[in-house]
Amino acid sequence: MSALEPGAVLDHYRMDEAVARSGMSVLYRATDLRDGKPVAIKIPHTEMEADSILLERFKREEEIGQMLDHPGIVKTYPEEQRSRRYMVLEWVEGRLLRSILNEARVLPVERAVRITLAICEALDTMHKHGIVHRDLKPENVMVDAQDRIKLIDFGIAMREDARRLTYVNMTGALGTPDYVSPEQVKGGRGDQRSDIYALGTMLYEMLTGRVPYTDENALAALNARLQRDPEPPRELNSAITPELQEVLFRALEREPRHRYATASEMAWELEHQELVGVEERNGRSAGNLQRRKIDRRWMMYGGVALVPVVLFVLMLLLARR
């Protein structure tokens, strides 16, 4: 069994408490009995260890964590001798960004931008190592009292040169629906611009209290980002400047080639918003959006009205034959 009771000892680690559970593993706050320091221990479920694909993902997550050395990325510690499979991680103090948003709903513009800049810096390091997170979301960002961040959970991260892994029942391989990029919805692997899309979604949420695409079900929300632009965030929060809105639009472009190519590019424009040129974007204003909805409605009605006419013409042509 993967679950351990508080107080249980695993090699030279004492399990203090289980702090998170997922479909793949259990995360514990533990104490290294050699020096008394707190660590996080991630133990895969027994059934995961029996699945070669899931086990490969676990190994990859550990390898990626050991490759990265940045204050904004949780550290993964190597461990030579273990009595079972588990992962040893840096214990991170702070709160999940999700908890902060659940409490505050909308963050002040300055704070939202500050947190986003910190994430950009960590992402830039990841991307320069050829690693894509692929599951950026508020649940995977820890924030401390000084708004310093740590990216956590590389469960579906990948090296851009690595072979693709698939798992039929693992919806997490796609990412979390609210933050997944259009190219991933279409079945693409995603690259660093997919992470930028997810970060744009997070910034949108921090500034407006909602994600860009909401619907009654996840599939409809996924499809929406392939069909239409998000609601202009300035219409939801007047404190957002036209320049900051432009940064959001650029991060949330449907086509990856139109997005920021790197996290550092996005960071530069966030830091120099006065130099961001605001593009004329057709249909972005509320009035234009409403007119587009009306136009689409009339086109639909017109199409329905034409169906009997088309059928009549076809029947007439067949009768003449």
Residues 6+ apart with CB under 8 A from 14: 7, 8, 30, 31, 33
- Using CA atoms of 62, 68, 72, 77 in order, give the dihedral in degrees to the nearest 10: 50
Catalytic residue among 124, 135, 178, 229: 135
CB 126 within 8 A of CB 133: yes
Token pair 């407006």: residue: 208
Residues 6+ apart with CB under 8 A from 117: 267, 270, 271
Question: How far does CA 31 lie from the centroid of its chain?
Answer: 30
The number of CA neighbours under 13 Å toward the Cβ of 61 is: 26
Active-site residue, 135 included: yes
Q: Which of 243, 216, 217, 213 is nearest to 229 (CA)?
A: 213
Q: How many residues does the chain have?
A: 321
By three-state DSSP, how is residue 212 classified? Answer: coil
Question: How far does CA 19 lie from the centroid of its chain?
Answer: 21
Supply the residues annotated as catalytic: 135
